[in-house]
Copies of this chain bind each other. A is one copy, B any other.
């Protein structure tokens, strides 16, 4: 209720102008002034600031100006900057880079055995991979505005620390701090968030059902988690631990879960559980490595395609358990859409209908509360994609942590 400080007002207005240009581009400064209600002098000053930061550029002259000289048109600058998203999962690293229009520039999938490596070596490996990624010719000419890191576990988002990621074997790991130290790129924002949350952001921004404001993304890897968007915003809860659908207990007599309990959704429908039953002859006596998982998923899907009853039965059973878990989400959060990601996608032909039926069965509201259940089209890079998108859309709030390089300021 107090009058905001000048810098907070300016920050809000920088975000407002950026969003306006994103929406109206190509557009003149006058059009921005008209749409925002800000006066033209203010708009010119804000636009100059955004240009100096590499966020907006002039793209040409308007020929449709009704009177006076032709107006210079503005667009987002899709040539100067990039944002990176990175997902650390049990069996792979995924990296995605996007430009300011949230268009994909690079997409890399790297098999990586985080469980075997341990926390310390994993963090060092992540930093190395990130540095190499930024040296790719596609990115080398761009300034990186931030890195969004997706982790399958409980994250303390404000500090960027991993509270608990049982499938990685990580606990109380100050990931942001370590990455920032190792990367040693001054003022580079690093965001750490739950993989399902960032998957939900990716679906909302660029997925096949983008724009659906009440959307849940469910990760289908060794772990199962849900990123819950309600009215377009992430449901984080009091400590950022919302969406832990993987550890909802469904069967007290079920198999042991990575969390130490029995019969959690993850222990019944996670990829470990599926592969154990789908390809018992190939399942090793040791924890699955990243390569194991990739190979075994391929084998399981191939067998299911040829009518193998063990493979089909294992996937169908997982689909049913998953559906019972999704019903909890439906009863408690009433989404319009649940998107299944990760390895659930290649297993979709046998898993999806079972999941839909079980979810409908346990939903109190008729017709699953109006909720559709569909497969993701974003593959194994969904969370990384959402990490990159998050850094782009964070700019819209006017939080522009970019130092203006002196050389480029001097040149303007």
Q: Among the listed stretches A50-58, A144-152, A282-290, A359-367, which one makes contact with chain B, having 4 or more residues with CB under 8 Å of it?
A: A359-367
Min distance, Cβ A191 to any Cβ of chain B, angstroms:
19
The verdict on A299 contacting chain B, using a C-beta distance below 8 Å, is: no
Give the interface size bracket for A toward B.
Answer: 35 or more
A 323-365 binary contact with B (CB < 8 Å = 1; else 0): 0100111011111100000000000000000000000001011
Which of A19, A37, A228, A238 counts the most B-chain CB atoms under 10 A from its CB?
Answer: A238
The verdict on A226 contacting chain B, using a C-beta distance below 8 Å, is: yes
Other-chain residue from B238, B249, B336, B364 in contact with A370 (beta carbon distance below 8 A): B238
Min distance, Cβ A227 to any Cβ of chain B, angstroms:
12
Q: In the complex, A364 Cα to B164 Cα: how many Å?
A: 10
B334 touches A332 (CB 8 A): no
Q: In the complex, A134 Cα to B281 Cα: how many Å?
A: 75
A332 touches B328 (CB 8 A): yes
Query: Residue of B at shortest CB range from A212?
Result: B238
The verdict on A243 contacting chain B, using a C-beta distance below 8 Å, is: yes
Q: Among the listed stretches A107-115, A120-128, A135-143, A229-237, which one makes contact with chain B, having 4 or more residues with CB under 8 Å of it?
A: A229-237
A364 touches B247 (CB 8 A): yes
Other-chain residue from B35, B239, B332 in contact with A3 (beta carbon distance below 8 A): B35
B35 touches A2 (CB 8 A): yes
A365 touches B164 (CB 8 A): yes
Q: List 23 A-B contacts (CB under 8 A).
A: A1-B24, A2-B35, A3-B35, A154-B365, A164-B365, A164-B366, A213-B238, A226-B332, A228-B332, A235-B333, A237-B334, A237-B335, A238-B334, A238-B336, A238-B370, A239-B336, A241-B370, A242-B333, A245-B331, A245-B332, A248-B327, A249-B362, A259-B364
